[in-house]
Structure 1
Amino acid sequence: MSPPQPPVAPTPKAPADPVRAVAAGLLNLTGLGAGYFLLRRWVLAAVCLAATAALLVLALPAEPDGVPVGLLVGYGLLLLVAALDGARRAATTPLRSPVVAMALGIVLLAVPAGGVVAYGAARDDAVEEMLLGRLDDADALVAKAAARTSFAEGRADYTTALARYRELAHDHAGSRAAGLVPGRLDAYYKAVAKPYTDKKDCEAIEPLTYLRTVPGKHMDRDVLGSLATWPDKPLAASLYACGTGRLGTETAGSDGGELGELLRTFPKSEQAGQVGGALRDAVAARDRSLGGAEPCTATDEVRSIGRTADALPDDAGAGVAPDVDKAVEKGVYACGVDEFKDKKFGDARKTLADFADTYKNSRHRARAEDIAIAAEIAGLRPAAGNHLPPAGSPGGARMTLVVSNDGPGPVEVLYTGPVTGSVKLAACGSCTMYSSESAGRSKACKANRKYPKVTIRLPAGSYHFLHKHSADTTAAISDRAAGSEIRPGYSYTQCSYVVRGGL
Structure 2
Amino acid sequence: MPSAPPPAPADGGRAAAVGLLNLSGLGLGYALVRRPLLTLVCWVATAVLLLVALPADPDGVPSLALALYAALLLAAAVHGAAVGLRTRLRWPPRTLVALALGVLLLAVPAGGAVLYDGARDEATEQMLLDRLDGADHLVEAASEQPFDKAEPDYRRALKAYDALATDHAGSRAAARVPDRLHDFYTTVGASYERRRYCDAVPALKYLRTVPRTVDRERLGSLAHWPDDRLATSLYSCASDGLTSGDAEWPGLFGDLLTTFPQSEQAAKVEPAVKSAVGKAVKEVDGDEPCTAVSRLEGLSAQITDLPGEKAGVGQALAKDADRAGRGADEGAYDCGVDQYKDKDFDAALDSMNDFVKNNKHHKNRARAQKIAIAAEVAQTVPAAGKRLPTTASGGSISVTVKNDSPDDITVLYTGPVTGSFTLKGCGSCSEYDWGSTLSPGFEPCGKSGRDYPQRTISLPVGTTYFVHKSRSDATTTTPSSDTAKLRPGYVYTECAYTTRGLGTGTGTGA
Is the TM-score greater than 0.5? Answer: yes
Cα deviation, residue 93, structure 1? 3.0
The answer to whether the 8 A contact 2:330-2:359 is kept is no
**Could you say what secondary structure the match of 2:494 adopts?**
strand
- Distance in 2 (CA, whole Å) between partners of 1:298 and 1:495 is 43
Deviation at 1:31, TM superposition (A): 0.6
2:404/2:495 contact within 8 Å kept: yes
2:392 maps to what in 1? Answer: 393
Shift of 1:122: 1.7
1:16 shift after superposition? 2.7
Equivalence for 1:356:
356
Superposition deviation, residue 349 in structure 1 = 0.6
2:163 aligned to 164, 167, 176, which one?
Answer: 167
Q: Is the 8 A contact 2:303 2:318 kept in 1?
A: yes
Give the aligned partner of residue 106 of structure 1: 103
Aligned to 2:217: 222
- Give 1:194's aligned residue: 190
Higher mean Cα deviation, 333-342 or 192-201?
Answer: 192-201
Supply the distance in 2 between the matched residues of 1:129 and 1:11 (Cα, whole angstroms): 59
Which of 224, 228, 231 aligns to 1:233? It is: 228
Give the aligned partner of residue 4 of structure 1: none
SS in 1 for 2:485: strand
Superposed CA RMSD in Å reads 2.5
Give the letter aligned to residue 132 of structure 1: L
Aligned to 2:412, the other structure's residue is in SS state strand
Secondary structure at the residue paired with 1:147? coil
1:452-497 CA distances to partner (integer Å, 9 max, x unpaired)? Answer: 01111112222221111114369x3321123222233432221111
* 1:333 and 2:333 matched: yes
Q: Tell me, yes or no, if the aligned pair for 1:247 and 1:305 is still in contact at 8 Å.
A: no
Structure-2 residue corresponding to 1:277: 271
1:408 is aligned, of 406, 409, 418, to 406
Instruction: Name the CA shift for 1:441/1:60 in 2 (closer, same or farther; >3 Å).
Output: farther
Q: Distance in 2 between matches of 1:174 and 1:332?
A: 72
What are the Cα deviations for residues 414-451 of structure 1, in whole angstroms up to 9, with x where unaligned? 11112111111110111112223245973311253211
Counterpart in the other structure of 2:68: 74
Superposed CA offset, 1:318-354 (max 9, x none): 2313322321122222222221122111111112112
Match of 2:25 in 1: 31
User: Which residue is 1:380 aligned to?
Assistant: 380
Of residues 53, 65, 68 in structure 1, which corresponds to 2:59?
A: 65
Aligned partner of 1:290 in structure 2 is: 284
Partner SS, residue 499 of structure 2 = coil
Give 1:115-134 correspondences, 5 Å limit: 115-134=112-131
Secondary structure (helix, strand or coil) at the match of 1:443 reads coil
**What is the identity, as a one-letter code, of the residue corresponding to 1:275?**
V
Whether contact under 8 Å (2:330, 2:355) holds in the other structure is: no
Q: Which runs of 5+ in 2 are unaligned?
A: none
Cα distance in 1 for residues equivalent to 2:357 and 2:442? 41
- Cα distance in 2, alignment partners of residues 132 and 176 from structure 1: 8
| Residue in structure 1 matched with residue 460 of structure 2 by the alignment | 459
SS in 1 for 2:273: helix
Residues paired across the two proteins, number: 490
Pairs within 5 Å for 1:127-146: 127-146=124-143
Q: Distance in 2 between matches of 1:136 and 1:440?
A: 102
The residue that corresponds to 1:3 in the other structure is none
Residue 68 of structure 1: CA displacement?
Answer: 0.4
Find 2:425's aligned residue among 427, 431, 435. Answer: 427
Say which SS state the counterpart of residue 432 (structure 2) adopts. coil
Amino acid at match of 1:142: V
Q: Alpha-carbon deviations, 1:347-373, whole Å to 9, x = none?
A: 111121122122222222111111111
Report the Cα distance in structure 1 between the residues aligned to 2:106 and 2:319, rounded to whole angstroms: 89
Q: Is the 8 A contact 2:377 2:413 kept in 1?
A: yes
Name whichever of 489-498 and 29-38 sits farther off.
Answer: 489-498
Q: Which runs of 4+ in 1 moved over 4 A?
A: 250-253
Specify the SS of the correspondent of 1:463: strand
Q: Identify unmatched segments of 5+ residues in structure 1.
A: 1-6
Structure 2 distance, partners of 1:48, 1:71, is 15
The 1:428–1:439 alpha-carbon spacing in structure 2 relative to 1, beyond 3 Å, is farther
What is the match of residue 324 of structure 1?
324
Distance 2:441 2:361 in 1: 44
Aligned residue runs from structure 1 range 32-51, under 5 A: 32-51=26-45
Conserved? CA contact 1:251–1:307, under 8 Å: no
Mapped to 2, the partners of 1:51 and 1:331 lie a distance apart of: 99
Q: Does 1:56 align with 2:45?
A: no
Q: Deviations over 1:258-315 (max 9, x none)?
A: 1112111111111222222111111011111112232222222222222222112223
TM-score w.r.t. length of structure 1: 0.91
Superposed CA offset, 1:362-395 (max 9, x none):
22211111111111111111111222113x4279
How high is the TM-score relative to the length of structure 2? 0.90
Aligned-residue offset at 1:250: 4.8
Question: For 1:182, which of 171, 178, 184 is the aligned residue?
Answer: 178
Q: 1 CA distance for matches of 2:248 and 2:455? A: 52
Q: Distance in 2 between matches of 1:379 and 1:172?
A: 82
Aligned identity (percent) is 47
The amino acid that maps onto 1:295 is: P
* Distance in 1 separating the partners of 2:247 and 2:426: 51
Whether contact under 8 Å (2:356, 2:365) holds in the other structure is: yes
Aligned to 1:88: 82
Cross-structure match for 1:97 = 94
CA distance in 1, matches of 2:151, 2:439: 80
Aligned partners of 2:281 and 2:328: how far apart in 1?
A: 9
Q: Distance in 1 between matches of 2:357 and 2:8?
A: 132
Q: Classify the secondary structure of the residue corresponding to 1:286.
A: helix
